[in-house]
Amino acid sequence: MSAFKITQLARQFSTSAARQGRIVQAPIQVYGIEGRYAHALYSAASKEKKLDVVEKELSDFGALLQKDSKLADFFRNPGAHKSDKLAALQSVVKKFKYSDLTNNLVAAMAENNRFNKLDSVISSFAKIMSAAKGEVLCVVTTAKPLDNSQQKEVQTILNSFLKKGETLLLEMKVDPSIMGGMTVTVGDKFVDMSFSTKYNTYSNLLKQAV
């Protein structure tokens, strides 16, 4: 595939979903520039039934850039000429035989000098795919590590809030600064049950009363 053809694909990427018909809505909304790219890619890949293919290719491409820092810096350098970036991209595309959908995405980002957003786009697409599979990411942060029985109890409670067909992806974190209690993030919802927040709340109330 020539650099010229990749450029054409890049220009077509943002409007390809519209030409094919109604846009396929993602199960969750991701905002920002990265969200726009991720949603457009999800819609196009969904129509071509290549969601899993694109997900793997993006993951592999992201891993490649993490491994090859020189290549990553070159792509993200706003001073590098677009034609040079597209030529380098052509080499990567040819070597790993990426699908046109993935080619279009990375070419569009290179064409628009948005390559510094690639990690965020990959992360956003992964979030959309996780939601599409019914996976619910939950992050529980405590001041001290929970033992196995405590973790199991937390997981049981969180599972009780899931809808049918959803799967809990539990991530445990430790942050001594919360002093005690815990904070829980489920999807885009956040619950703060930390001692530090309670302490600050009561402290502010006392200051106002004095």
Q: Indicate the domain borders of the chain.
A: 3-131, 134-209
Both tokens of 41, joined, read 């890619």
Residue 182 and residue 176 in contact, taking contact as beta carbons nearer than 8 Å: no
Both tokens of 108, joined, read 């569009």
How far is it, in rounded angstroms, from Cα 130 to Cα 126? Answer: 6
Q: In a structure prediction context, what are the per-residue pLDDT tens digits for the chain, which is 210 residues long?
A: 444 444 444 444 544 544 555 788 888 888 899 999 999 999 999 999 999 999 999 999 989 988 998 988 888 888 888 888 888 888 888 889 999 999 889 888 888 888 888 889 999 999 899 988 988 888 999 999 999 999 999 899 888 888 888 899 899 999 999 888 899 988 668 888 887 877 677 667 666 765
Residue in 64, 66, 126, 117 with CA at minimum distance from that of residue 89 = 64
Q: Provide the whole-model pTM.
A: 0.67
Residue 194 and residue 183 in contact, taking contact as beta carbons nearer than 8 Å: yes
First to last CA, the chain: 73
Cα distances (angstroms) measured from residue 2 to each of 70, 89, 102: 23, 10, 16
Per DSSP, the three-state class of 114 is: coil
Residue in 42, 9, 10, 37 with CA at minimum distance from that of residue 23 = 42
